Structure 1
Amino acid sequence: MSNSKDDDAVAGPVPVAPVDAGPVLAADGTPLKRSLGRALRRQKGRALLLIAPLLIFVLVTFIIPIGSMLFRSVENDIVANTLPYAVQELASWDAASGELPSEAVYKAMYDDLFVATEAKKHTRLGSRLNYEQTGISSLFRQSGRKVDDLAKDAAKALEDAVPAFENGETWYALMDAGDGEGNTTLLKNTRGRIGRLNDGPASADMDFVPSAEIAALLPRTARTYTEWAIFEVTDAERVPTNRAPWELVSLALLEELKTADLSGLSGERAALLQQAQAVDFEIPSYTDTFAEIDQDWANVTAWETLQTHSAKYTAGYFLNAIDAQKTPDGFAWQPEEKQILLTLFGRTLVMSLMITGSCILLGYPVAWLLANLPASRANLLMILVLLPFWTSLLVRTSAWKVMLQSQGVINDVLVWIGLVDDADRLVMINNQFGTIVAMTHILLPFMILPMYSVMQTVPPTYLRAAKSLGATNWTAFWRVYFPQSIPGIGAGSILVFILSIGYYITPEIVGGTKGVFISNRIAYHISSSLNWGLAAALGSILLAVVLVLYWCYDRIVGIDNVKLG
């Protein structure tokens, strides 16, 4: 007989048929997974709404302004917007040929420069190009004063021969479509240019519409009159209906009428234009006109500068930031006497590291005392550490200037105790030493506080345990205490280094010519030279350097090891 227990052991457990229970449902009958997902999304949405005001504030007041400023490092639309027709004609000119541009380029330049002078933008354009070629600013300034001489002669000849052109109503009736269905493309394109010239959109309240018939017959005249009409509305805020236009319009009309076919016109317009066509006015070469205005226009250098820097986006500012320049032939280094920025970058990095190191050496003992002294003494010492925050930065820096100068307190004490001869006083101001001393004093609290907050978390029992196992005081400190304080050193070092690399007030006051940082040049270009493009490029490079160093620190030390307590 077989044993039933043995049979069960051989057969194993009896299989149970799977039961299809379906998805787990919530109380409202929806699948639990979907219900949990919906609740999680609602929770995240409420959390986002709570921080939305802060995010919007940071975006509007921090990210957008900084992004806009950094964008200036590649933005270069002033040349293309101010001289659009000249830039278009210059595109086909070969600067390497050594020959001057064609007559068409000079003609387009005359129109653009005339309009820019009326809009008072020619000096700004000259200032921009003066960053690339010294002296070109005065060229544009002088040319702006003389560019309208030819146009004035043309306007006088036209008005003397046909007195009707003295009235603004005559011009308006000649150029306006009347029925409102004129050359809207010309109006739109011109509005865009005038809007850019005046740093704002053109007015929408524009009753004038250039005549399609006149625009086809006299395109330059119609374009120039339209530019003037929009300029009157947007900039001068005057109605162009009864005002005489720019003299440039008269010049363009007389020039185009010399070859225009008026046979297709009839009525008052035809009669008026036929009278103007009969005016005897000899228009000189625009090349000769510019040569008479200034001989530099008869040199290819000015035109090369215009062509090289006419693109809407440029790498020229970044090249200038590394002591190079953009030339018609490509990349080139600045003259040796102008190569200063790379030196300043190197000096900024080296001195910032030295300041960080000096803050570590001076701040570590103070932080250790703060963390290990009794509470009453530690509180008094903390007040002394925080005391500099209650004093103006300018006052602290000026105090160091008084103390470090040749006749200052420190030199007087050294002379009094006999360590320094009165004739050989130490030079401690207007150099790198003065900058390091002053900035170390200013940034020292930023190093002490992170180290103190970390040291406070180190249990003192660790040191006693190490000593009980036979370690000396130095071994206990170096093997047990110091490794646990490294996160505080890292946090303080990052804070001090980033602050020091961007300081400019202290180096400006105590650094002289040998102790200034690259940030001083950034401040100079923003407030004095107004070369915001170069300042933005220098700031972008400085930001990139800081991010690279931060990445290296993260790879070597690990940012996760940085703690503030």
Structure 2
Amino acid sequence: MAITVDSTGDLSPEEQKRLKGDLSRSLRQKKIRAILLVAPLVAFILVTFIFPIGNMLVRSVDNPQVHTYMPNVTEALKSWDGQELPDETIYAALAKDLIEGRKAKTIGKAATRLNYEKSGMRSLITGTARKHKKIVAPYKESLIGIKKKWGDIDTWKIIKKTGSPVTGSFFINAFDMVESPDGEISFAPEKQQIYLKLFWRTVWMSLLITFMTVLLGYPVSFLLASLPMKTANILMILVLLPFWTSLLVRTSSWIALLQTEGILNDLLVWLGVISNEARVQMIYNAIGTVVAMTHILLPFMILPLYSVMKTVPPSYVRAARSLGATNWTAFWRVYVPQTVPGVSAGAILVFILSIGYYITPALVGGESGRFIGNMIAYHMQKSLNWGLAAALGVMLLVMVLAIFALYSRVVGDNKVKLG
């Protein structure tokens, strides 16, 4: 369609309106195409990242078992003041839940949840349910006759507390704290504290692993960046070679190398460094975890360092030498500051990867070299306490985000680069 203008050379109002409409449609079509291009990536992130994290957050406070599988007694206990044993009505509600739960084979789920709060609750619930034929009116008398713990007021306080569909008890346990039946929160005895020690061990060992990768990775990266491209490419293949080998195989190889009767100890004995009776225990402890994980994560430090070092002009160091600086001064004062972005990127990458590791510590760490990830896996796979596992996972997520925020604030975003 031809565009018409008036005598002053301006577009007519109709033409201006039509052009604005065409421009809006063009921009809208471009936005739709852009959205369609990124939609698969957004869907992938939602399914594999956002939804799992959201599910973990919900599970850390979700508490449906007692509320769902013992509904009558849960509802009846809402009006109980907790000062003395419940009346006959509440005992009757419990009797109904036990009989119906045994028939539906669901009472065990509620019993398992109650056992997380106090050991022995599962046997109390299931043991009473098995003797359902003896549960007759008056229910208070018959239940106490079957199990004396039904006459303990703390038992009823625990049932009332866990009857809420939302709970904070998983986070209380994750902080190595205990909550009494009366609601008082305090730290568990020192010998029973597990999780905070594991969190601390995970952080300091991850820092040590990060330091070791910097210490070993910096000279390797410097060598790769200094060599001719053809030679550097050949050596880079050796750096990437571990990625072509299974993580399980790499970890298992360290077991053969580090065990008491392993290759490394045999070599030290042969060289006379140690005696045959004084072989060093380097596996199934913290040493095994640090050594194996440093080897596994070393490429993640070398690659960012190498990519940054390749961008540093060699003329800067030559200029410093020409102005009278020694080799060490030129290296430390001129070259190293320009590689700080690579060190920063590699350090945060290695640290975040190591803090969430659990396969390698589980295989070579023993008791002193396991991370908090191993305890999360234990609660998910063996104890089936998904609520506590989710609470520990949330704490780990918050800790990583806090460390990253602190690192970003101290180091600065402009000093974290990949080349």
Report the alpha carbon displacement of residue 446 of structure 1 after superposing the two structures with TM. Answer: 0.7
Q: Residues 70 and 110 of structure 2 are in contact (CA less than 8 Å); yes or no, is this contact kept in structure 1? A: no
1:9-28 equivalences in 2 (<5 Å): 28=15
Give the distance between the partners of 1:69 and 1:35, measured in 2 at CA.
47
Give the distance between the partners of 1:367 and 1:451, measured in 2 at CA.
6
1:312 aligns with 2:297: no
Report the alpha carbon displacement of residue 440 of structure 1 after superposing the two structures with TM. Answer: 0.3
Report the alpha carbon displacement of residue 70 of structure 1 after superposing the two structures with TM. Answer: 2.6
Q: Secondary structure at the match of 1:29?
A: helix
Q: Residues 488 and 563 of structure 1 are in contact (CA less than 8 Å); yes or no, is this contact kept in structure 2? A: yes
Q: Give the structure 1 partner of residue 42 of structure 2.
A: 55
Report the alpha carbon displacement of residue 94 of structure 1 after superposing the two structures with TM. Answer: 2.9
Q: Give the structure 1 partner of residue 128 of structure 2.
A: 143
Give the distance between the partners of 1:487 and 1:148, measured in 2 at CA.
73
Q: Name which of 111, 123, 136 aligns with 1:126.
A: 111
Q: Give the structure 2 partner of residue 416 of structure 1.
A: 270
Q: Residues 134 and 142 of structure 2 are in contact (CA less than 8 Å); yes or no, is this contact kept in structure 1? A: no
Q: Give the structure 2 partner of residue 528 of structure 1.
A: 382
Q: Residues 147 and 293 of structure 1 are in contact (CA less than 8 Å); yes or no, is this contact kept in structure 2? A: no
1:345 aligns with 2:199: yes
Q: Secondary structure at the match of 1:332?
A: strand
Amino acid at match of 1:61: T
Give the number of aligned pairs.
Answer: 411
Give the distance between the partners of 2:184 and 2:331, measured in 1 at CA.
59
Q: Secondary structure at the match of 1:91?
A: helix
1:545 aligns with 2:389: no
Report the alpha carbon displacement of residue 441 of structure 1 after superposing the two structures with TM. Answer: 0.5
Give the distance between the partners of 1:369 and 1:112, measured in 2 at CA.
72
1:388 aligns with 2:373: no
Amino acid at match of 1:63: I
Q: Give the structure 1 partner of residue 141 of structure 2.
A: 288
Report the alpha carbon displacement of residue 29 of structure 1 after superposing the two structures with TM. Answer: 2.1
Q: Do the aligned partners of residues 87 and 476 (structure 1) sit closer, same or farther apart at CA in structure 2, a change above 3 Å counting?
A: same
Q: Give the structure 1 partner of residue 55 of structure 2.
A: 68
Q: Secondary structure at the match of 2:222?
A: helix
1:102 aligns with 2:87: yes
Q: Residues 553 and 559 of structure 1 are in contact (CA less than 8 Å); yes or no, is this contact kept in structure 2? A: no
Give the distance between the partners of 2:251 and 2:20, measured in 1 at CA.
63
Give the distance between the partners of 1:132 and 1:541, measured in 2 at CA.
20
Measured against aligned partners, the alpha-carbon deviations of 1:105-126 in whole angstroms (never above 9, x if no partner) come to: 1011111222222221111111
Q: Do the aligned partners of residues 296 and 476 (structure 1) sit closer, same or farther apart at CA in structure 2, a change above 3 Å counting?
A: same
Q: Give the structure 1 partner of residue 100 of structure 2.
A: 115
1:55-454 equivalences in 2 (<5 Å): 55-95=42-82, 97=83, 99-150=84-135, 284-327=137-180, 328-454=182-308
Q: Do the aligned partners of residues 477 and 40 (structure 1) sit closer, same or farther apart at CA in structure 2, a change above 3 Å counting?
A: farther
Q: Considering only CA atoms, is the larger Rg found in Structure 1 or Structure 2? A: 1
Amino acid at match of 1:40: L
Give the distance between the partners of 2:173 and 2:9, measured in 1 at CA.
70
Amino acid at match of 1:553: Y
Give the distance between the partners of 2:13 and 2:192, measured in 1 at CA.
75
Q: Residues 24 and 31 of structure 1 are in contact (CA less than 8 Å); yes or no, is this contact kept in structure 2? A: no
Give the distance between the partners of 1:22 and 1:64, measured in 2 at CA.
58
- What TM-score comes out, normalization by structure 2 length? 0.93
Q: Secondary structure at the match of 1:311?
A: coil
Report the alpha carbon displacement of residue 508 of structure 1 after superposing the two structures with TM. Answer: 1.2
Once the two structures are aligned, what percentage of the paired residues are identical? 54
Q: Do the aligned partners of residues 27 and 45 (structure 1) sit closer, same or farther apart at CA in structure 2, a change above 3 Å counting?
A: farther
Give the distance between the partners of 1:394 and 1:403, measured in 2 at CA.
14
Give the distance between the partners of 2:164 and 2:133, measured in 1 at CA.
27
Give the distance between the partners of 1:24 and 1:314, measured in 2 at CA.
67
Give the distance between the partners of 1:364 and 1:103, measured in 2 at CA.
74
1:503 aligns with 2:372: no
RMSD of the alignment, in Å?
Answer: 2.0
Report the alpha carbon displacement of residue 33 of structure 1 after superposing the two structures with TM. Answer: 7.0
Q: Which runs of 5+ in 2 are unaligned?
A: 1-7
Amino acid at match of 1:128: R
Q: Do the aligned partners of residues 561 and 25 (structure 1) sit closer, same or farther apart at CA in structure 2, a change above 3 Å counting?
A: farther
Amino acid at match of 1:517: F
Give the distance between the partners of 2:149 and 2:10, measured in 1 at CA.
85
Report the alpha carbon displacement of residue 24 of structure 1 after superposing the two structures with TM. Answer: 7.4
Give the distance between the partners of 2:198 and 2:63, measured in 1 at CA.
25
Q: Secondary structure at the match of 2:73?
A: helix
1:44 aligns with 2:31: yes
Report the alpha carbon displacement of residue 497 of structure 1 after superposing the two structures with TM. Answer: 0.6
Amino acid at match of 1:75: D
Give the distance between the partners of 1:294 and 1:320, measured in 2 at CA.
28
Report the alpha carbon displacement of residue 284 of structure 1 after superposing the two structures with TM. Answer: 2.7
Give the distance between the partners of 1:25 and 1:311, measured in 2 at CA.
69
Report the alpha carbon displacement of residue 75 of structure 1 after superposing the two structures with TM. Answer: 0.4
Q: Do the aligned partners of residues 48 and 148 (structure 1) sit closer, same or farther apart at CA in structure 2, a change above 3 Å counting?
A: farther
Q: Residues 322 and 342 of structure 1 are in contact (CA less than 8 Å); yes or no, is this contact kept in structure 2? A: yes
Q: Secondary structure at the match of 2:117?
A: coil
Give the distance between the partners of 2:104 and 2:363, measured in 1 at CA.
41
1:431-510 equivalences in 2 (<5 Å): 431-510=285-364
Give the distance between the partners of 1:414 and 1:49, measured in 2 at CA.
61
Amino acid at match of 2:214: I
Q: Secondary structure at the match of 2:186?
A: strand
Report the alpha carbon displacement of residue 529 of structure 1 after superposing the two structures with TM. Answer: 0.3
Q: Residues 217 and 301 of structure 2 are in contact (CA less than 8 Å); yes or no, is this contact kept in structure 1? A: yes
Q: Which has the higher contact order (CA 8 A, sep 6+)?
A: 2
Q: Which runs of 5+ in 1 are unaligned?
A: 1-20, 151-282
